[in-house]
């Protein structure tokens, strides 16, 4: 293995790709990807595991709703700030030390959460967890794109789709089950041995499979990106909660984020001319990558908005408890995971359009159907609708991941992965903010007009889903323009 790595480091980019795809390395590559998949699933589960636990934590810790929301906001905020820096990290360091760093940080954060006596230390633990989580997904995506030849990427990306969609989707289900029988600390106590086990196995068996190269760190870009991505996610989260951000109206950090994002883009465009950009935006030179990222943003916003809105509707309008809510959402989440590898194989055979178009249409159709819900909607109808939207999203995510990253040259894989991760965080926060803000405003208006609380909240939910349904039409249109990337040599931009 030492000789293999030495050979890779002394070779050019086309030779690096050939070495990574060498059939003699197949067993090594499978092991590395399997370790990354399992570990990424564990860390991404924590992104939504707190969603149904917040009321319990408010009671147990004696804190307000605004204070306890920091457990979710701080996690998303940290993810948004760290992910843009991963493009630099993945270029400078080997696979194994990056994996060990990510899982060590995540496990340390989980341990802090498990023993936290109060909210302050619990928030610190969530921030530490988020740092490890932010590193894992770009590391997984970049490694897969390096190791797997183009003709087999769909199948592997199908497994990644399980991580990206199922882990956040079943988080509320798992936390609902735990909270029904155990103390809230068990959400972290049960995860900690799994994280430590993945860390130990990875430290023992993980091998270096990517080629580090010199990449300068532009400190100014890091600072500006923190204000850009952090401001957007923080402000959108505050708007979604219907409150203020640190005493300021939610639109203030959003405005700061927009201005900082403009400065960040301007600086990256200048720095990328000399290959010094923190986040190289030449990935968007590929029209296929750009269209795929746009569609990904719409679908991620819809997914996270629905994940937040459905539990609120099920519990506050239809009267289900947390366990019943989690069990109702479980079948669709599991089906989405089971479909991942199948969709990946279909992508390898037929390309993206035969999957993306029906998938986007299914998602849009369910969103339009959800605009009809009220306080008398059948539980069975909601179960069928959730299963259907999960099927649609399963048909969408794998082709989008595969087509987008396969459209950029090999030396931009790390930047492409970081762009996708950043877009997912901002789009997810925007989806939650938009859905919850519309629901709250409409519900408040209907309540003031004399409607009963449940009917008013149901009206707010309908308006939120109406907005999502309109946006979903954009995903249907975008699906028609995504193409299978050409089989191209390393270093040649996609089209």
Q: What are the tens digits of pLDDT across the range 443-457?
A: 888 888 888 888 888
Burial 187-210 (b: 16+ CB within 10 A, else e): bbbebbebbbebbebbeeebbbbb
Claim: this prediction has a pTM higher than 0.85: no
Could you please report the per-residue DSSP string of 165-200? Answer: IIHHHHHHHHHHHHHHHS-TTHHHHTHHHHHHHHHH
Mean pLDDT of 88-110: 85
Average pLDDT of the segment spanning 257-264 = 90
Give residue 346's region: left, alpha or beta (phi > 0; psi -120 to 50): alpha
Q: Which of the residue ranges 107-116, 231-240, 423-432 has the most confident prediction, judged by mean pLDDT?
A: 107-116
Q: What is the pLDDT of residue 494?
A: 40
Give per-residue pLDDT as tens, 299-340: 888 777 777 788 788 888 888 876 787 788 788 877 887 787
Assess if residue 73 is contained within a domain: yes
Residue 324 located in a structural domain: yes
SS3 486: coil
Q: Indicate whether 465 belongs to any domain.
A: yes
Q: What is the CATH number of the domain that holds 90?
A: 1.20.1250.20
How many Cβ atoms from other residues are within 10 Å of residue 53's Cβ? Answer: 22
* Lowest-confidence segment of 67-81, 191-205, 266-280 by average pLDDT: 67-81
Q: Residue 491 falls within a domain, yes or no?
A: no
pLDDT, position 467: 87
Q: What's the pLDDT at 91?
A: 73
Span 170-177, mean pLDDT?
Answer: 75
484 within some domain: no
User: Residues 371-397, buried b or exposed e (16+ Cβ, 10 A)?
Assistant: bebebebeeeebbebbbbbbbbbbbbb
With contact defined as beta carbons under 8 Å apart, do 169 and 386 qualify? no
Kindly tell me if the per-residue pLDDT of 141 is higher than 80.
no
Top pLDDT among 279 and 361 is at 361
CA quadruple 226, 229, 230, 232: dihedral positive or negative? positive
Q: What is the pLDDT of residue 238?
A: 67
Does residue 490 fall inside a structural domain?
no
Is residue 172 included in any domain, yes or no? Answer: yes
Rounded to 5 degrees, φ, ψ at 488 are: -125, 150
Task: Look up the domain containing 466 and give its range.
Answer: 2-479
Rounded mean pLDDT of 110-120? 89
**Domain total for the chain?**
1
Residue 363 has what pLDDT? 92
What pLDDT score was predicted for residue 237?
66
Residue 269 tokens, joined: 């465009």
Q: Which of 57-66, 243-252, 270-279, 363-372 has the highest mean pLDDT?
A: 363-372
Task: Say how far apart CA 254 and CA 228 lie, in whole Å.
Answer: 9
According to the model, what pLDDT value does residue 368 have? 94
Return the exposure string of 117-135: e unless at least 16 CB atoms fall within 10 Å of the residue's CB, then b.
eebeebbebbbbbbbbbbb
Determine the pLDDT at residue 337.
76
pLDDT at position 418 over 60: yes
In a domain, 371, yes or no: yes
411-425, 426-440, 466-480: range with highest mean pLDDT: 466-480
């Amino acid at each position: 293995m030492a000789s293999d790595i030495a050979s890779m480091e002394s070779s050019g980019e086309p030779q690096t790709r050939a070495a990574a795809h060498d059939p003699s390395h197949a067993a090594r590559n499978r092991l590395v990807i399997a370790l990354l998949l399992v570990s990424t699933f564990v860390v991404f589960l924590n992104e939504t595991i707190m969603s149904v636990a917040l009321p319990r934590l408010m009671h147990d810790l004696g804190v307000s709703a605004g204070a306890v929301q920091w457990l979710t906001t701080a996690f998303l905020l940290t993810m948004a700030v760290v992910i843009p820096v991963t493009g630099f990290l993945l270029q400078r360091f080997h696979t194994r030390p990056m994996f060990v760093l990510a899982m060590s940080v995540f496990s340390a954060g989980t341990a802090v959460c498990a023993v936290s006596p109060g909210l302050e230390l619990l928030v610190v633990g969530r921030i530490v967890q988020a740092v490890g989580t932010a590193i894992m997904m770009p590391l997984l995506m970049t490694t897969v794109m390096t190791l797997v030849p183009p003709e087999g990427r769909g199948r592997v990306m199908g497994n990644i789709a399980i991580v990206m969609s199922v882990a956040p989707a079943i988080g509320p289900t798992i936390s609902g089950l735990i909270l029904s029988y155990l103390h809230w600390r068990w959400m972290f106590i049960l995860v900690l041995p799994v994280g430590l086990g993945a860390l130990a196995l990875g430290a023992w068996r993980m091998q270096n499979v990517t080629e580090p190269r010199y990449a300068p760190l532009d400190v100014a870009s890091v600072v500006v990106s923190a204000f850009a991505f952090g401001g957007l996610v923080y402000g959108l989260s505050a708007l979604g909660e219907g409150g203020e951000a640190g005493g300021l109206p939610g639109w203030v950090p959003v405005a700061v984020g927009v201005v900082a994002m403009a400065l960040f883009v301007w600086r990256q465009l200048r720095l990328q001319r000399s290959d010094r950009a923190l986040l190289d935006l030449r990935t968007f030179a590929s029209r296929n990558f750009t269209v795929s990222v746009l569609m990904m943003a719409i679908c991620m916003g819809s997914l996270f908005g629905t994940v937040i809105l459905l539990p609120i509707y099920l519990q506050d309008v239809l009267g289900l408890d947390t366990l019943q809510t989690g069990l109702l959402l479980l079948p669709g989440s599991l089906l989405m995971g089971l479909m991942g590898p199948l969709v990946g194989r279909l992508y390898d055979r037929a390309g993206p359009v035969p999957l993306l178009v029906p998938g986007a249409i299914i998602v849009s159709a369910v969103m339009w159907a959800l605009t009809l819900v009220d306080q008398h909607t059948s539980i069975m109808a909601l179960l069928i609708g959730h299963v259907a939207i999960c099927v649609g999203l399963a048909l969408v995510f794998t082709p989008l991941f595969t087509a987008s990253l396969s459209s950029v040259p090999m030396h931009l894989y790390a930047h492409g992965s970081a762009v996708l991760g950043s877009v997912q965080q901002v789009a997810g926060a925007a989806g939650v903010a938009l859905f919850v803000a519309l629901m709250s405003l409409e519900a408040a208006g209907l309540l003031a007009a004399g409607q009963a609380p449940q009917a008013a909240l149901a009206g707010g939910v309908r308006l939120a889903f109406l907005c999502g349904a309109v946006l979903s039409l954009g995903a249907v249109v975008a699906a028609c323009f995504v193409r299978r990337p050409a089989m191209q040599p390393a270093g040649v931009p996609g089209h």
